[in-house]
């Protein structure tokens, strides 16, 4: 008995989250009223309140799941004996992000999550830890590449991790606003920079 109803609960929860996501991506967290979510989900107020005890909780749940959790891709690469080239890693990483964007996919509302994170403590904690996590994966990737002699001896893995992490929000934003960037664009950029020794100052 518990099994069935547990599944049922989970299905309901998803139904609500999906409806909320659609609404939020259309009008934003705050311009969306719960009434609209009730309508979109086909559930009553009471039903929704059985699963989320306030609008804030629902917003938080969406804000959290909107963040592209793609560390798995990086972690996977890190477990291998031989790391693939950086441009390939970047492309795979971006592929995973794009996969979660789709039309109305969770990542569509990621920018709203970032915004909320700048002033809402609980969301900040969650978003910060996700990005910190992603960043530390990138840093480890850079360390591995450096150890393998594939990044210059004097290179700064932390800085590389920061840059690659930094590119994520901007990549999402350019995709949402312009739609003219793809994973291949990022990997192409990596290839263009690498081997461009002449472009930098020699300390």
Partner DNA sequence: TATGAATGAGGCTTCATTCAT
Partner DNA sequence: CATGAATGAAGCCTCATTCAT
Query: Where does this chain bind DNA (CB under 7 A)?
Result: 1-5, 8, 12, 31-35, 43-47, 49-50, 53-56
What's the DSSP call for residue 195? T
Distance CA 138, CA 168 (A): 12
Quote the least distance from Cβ 16 to a copy of itself, whole Å: 20
Site string for a copy of itself, 105-124 (x = CB under 8 A): ---xx-xx-xxxxxxx---x
Closest to DNA by CB, 2 or 149: 2
Distance CA 134, CA 70 (A): 8
Distance CA 20, CA 36 (A): 9
Distance CA 144, CA 146 (A): 5
Site string for a copy of itself, 150-179 (x = CB under 8 A): xxx-xxxxxxx-xx-xxxxxxx-xx-xxx-
Q: Is 92 in the site for a copy of itself (CB under 8 A)?
A: no
Residue 8 CB coordination number (10 Å): 10
Q: Is 185 in the site for a copy of itself (CB under 8 A)?
A: yes
Closest to DNA by CB, 39 or 166: 39
Q: What angle do CA 55, 60, 65 make, to 5 degrees?
A: 130
Distance CA 25, CA 57 (A): 17
Quote the least distance from Cβ 121 to DNA, whole Å: 17
Quote the least distance from Cβ 2 to a copy of itself, whole Å: 13
Query: Could you say which of DNA, a copy of itself, none residue 27 binds, taking C-beta under 5 to 8 angstroms by partner kind?
Result: a copy of itself
Closest to DNA by CB, 56 or 88: 56
3-state secondary structure of 84: coil
Q: Which residue has the tokens 């690659």?
A: 164
Phi, psi (5° rounding) for residue 115?
-60, -50
Query: Could you say which of a copy of itself, DNA, none residue 132 binds, taking C-beta under 5 to 8 angstroms by partner kind?
Result: a copy of itself
Count of residues binding a copy of itself (CB under 8 A)? 73
Q: Is 45 in the site for a copy of itself (CB under 8 A)?
A: no
Distance CA 93, CA 162 (A): 15
Binding-site member from 60, 65, 100, 135 for a copy of itself (CB under 8 A): 135
């Amino acid at each position: 008995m518990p099994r069935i109803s547990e599944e049922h609960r989970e299905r309901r929860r998803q139904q609500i989250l999906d409806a909320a996501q659609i609404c939020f991506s259309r009008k934003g967290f705050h311009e969306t009223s719960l009434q609209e979510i009730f309508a979109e989900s086909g559930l009553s107020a009471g039903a929704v309140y059985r699963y989320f005890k306030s609008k804030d909780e629902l917003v938080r749940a969406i804000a959290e799941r909107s963040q592209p959790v793609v560390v798995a891709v990086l972690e996977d690469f890190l477990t291998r004996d031989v790391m693939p080239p950086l441009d390939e890693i970047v492309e795979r990483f971006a592929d995973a992000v794009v996969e979660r964007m789709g039309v109305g996919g969770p990542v569509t509302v990621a920018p709203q999550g970032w915004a909320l994170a700048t002033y809402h403590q609980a969301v900040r904690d969650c978003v910060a830890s996700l990005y910190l996590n992603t960043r530390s994966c990138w840093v480890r990737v850079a360390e591995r590449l450096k150890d393998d002699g594939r990044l210059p001896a004097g290179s700064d893995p932390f800085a590389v991790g920061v840059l690659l992490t930094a590119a994520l929000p901007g990549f999402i934003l350019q995709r949402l606003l312009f739609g003219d960037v793809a994973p291949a664009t990022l990997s192409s950029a990596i290839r263009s920079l690498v081997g461009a020794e002449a472009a930098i100052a020699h300390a």
